[in-house]
């Protein structure tokens, strides 16, 4: 069987829309570019999409990138610096002599609390069912992953297809069974009075 060469095959609108962004970025080249351009010559819809996308791109590029006032920048930097490294003196000023004494108490307390929380987390983790940790050489672990992938893929494809088959069966049931016994009498019941009114 002879297949059309790529340059002869017209591009679908869906494919052209995928390539649109690539074209605007100037990355579309060779046969793909010529096919894209040929499609635009014959498709006004895609040409319109391209114009829209181009306008958006230009609009975004034209957006002003104003500078932040220096006073604001300085205030933000000062605030961040104060948060990162709290000044020991300001803390003493706030708490006076008590500051140091409190610090002597709360630091060990916080450290103790940290240890307790860590121990609690470890205990909770131990209660969780052990998660499966892959063992073996990296090649074996990889092989196991790949085998699982293949099995999952086969199962997914088979299931997807059976879902679709079920969908088709349901469509047929609706068309042939429910359509005939339920929908048709109802539509007939609605249509007849309307026709009588019209006459």
Partner 1 sequence: MRSKTLWGLALLAGLWLLPVSAGAEGKAKEDYSKLAGYVDFADLGLNEEEAVVEVYLHDALLGMVASMSKGSDPELADMLNKLKLIRVQKFLLDDDAKVGTVEDQISALAGKLEKSGWTAAVRMREKKGDNVYVYMKMGDKVLEGITVMAVEGGESATFVNIVGEIDPEQIGRLGHKFDIDELDDLGDQWHEHSRDQKEKK
Per CB under 8 A, residues contacting partner 1 are 1, 3-6, 9, 11-12, 15, 32, 35, 132, 135-136, 139-141, 143-162, 164
The least distance separating partner 1 from the CB of residue 165, rounded to whole angstroms, comes to 8
Nearer to partner 1, 83 or 132 (CB): 132
The least distance separating partner 1 from the CB of residue 120, rounded to whole angstroms, comes to 28
The dihedrals phi and psi of 101, each to the nearest 5 degrees, come to -65, -40
| Secondary structure (DSSP) of 14-36 | HHHHHHHHHHHTT---HHHHHHH
The least distance separating partner 1 from the CB of residue 73, rounded to whole angstroms, comes to 37
Count of CA atoms in the C-beta half-sphere (13 A) of 110: 6
Q: Which of 140, 160, 188 minimizes the C-alpha distance to 196?
A: 188
Torsion sign (Cα): 182, 185, 188, 194: negative
The least distance separating partner 1 from the CB of residue 19, rounded to whole angstroms, comes to 10
Nearer to partner 1, 140 or 176 (CB): 140
Nearer to partner 1, 5 or 68 (CB): 5
- 3-state SS class at 109: helix
Nearer to partner 1, 42 or 164 (CB): 164
């Amino acid at each position: 069987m002879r297949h059309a060469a790529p340059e002869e095959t017209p591009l679908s609108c869906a494919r052209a829309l995928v390539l649109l962004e690539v074209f605007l970025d100037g990355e579309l080249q060779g046969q793909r570019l010529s096919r894209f351009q040929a499609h635009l010559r014959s498709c006004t819809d895609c040409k319109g999409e391209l114009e829209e996308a181009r306008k958006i791109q230009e609009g975004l590029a034209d957006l002003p990138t104003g500078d932040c006032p220096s006073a604001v920048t300085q205030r933000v930097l000062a605030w961040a610096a104060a948060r990162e490294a709290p000044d020991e003196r300001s803390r003493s000023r706030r708490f006076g002599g008590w500051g140091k004494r409190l610090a002597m108490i709360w630091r060990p307390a916080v450290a103790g609390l940290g240890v307790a929380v860590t121990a609690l987390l470890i205990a909770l983790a131990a209660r969780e069912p052990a998660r499966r940790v892959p063992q073996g050489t990296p090649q074996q672990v990889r092989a196991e992953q790949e085998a699982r992938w293949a099995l999952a893929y086969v199962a997914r494809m088979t299931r997807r297809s059976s879902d679709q088959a079920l969908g088709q069966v349901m469509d047929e049931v609706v068309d042939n069974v429910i359509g005939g016994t339920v929908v048709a009498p109802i539509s007939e019941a609605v249509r007849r009075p309307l026709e009588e009114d019209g006459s």
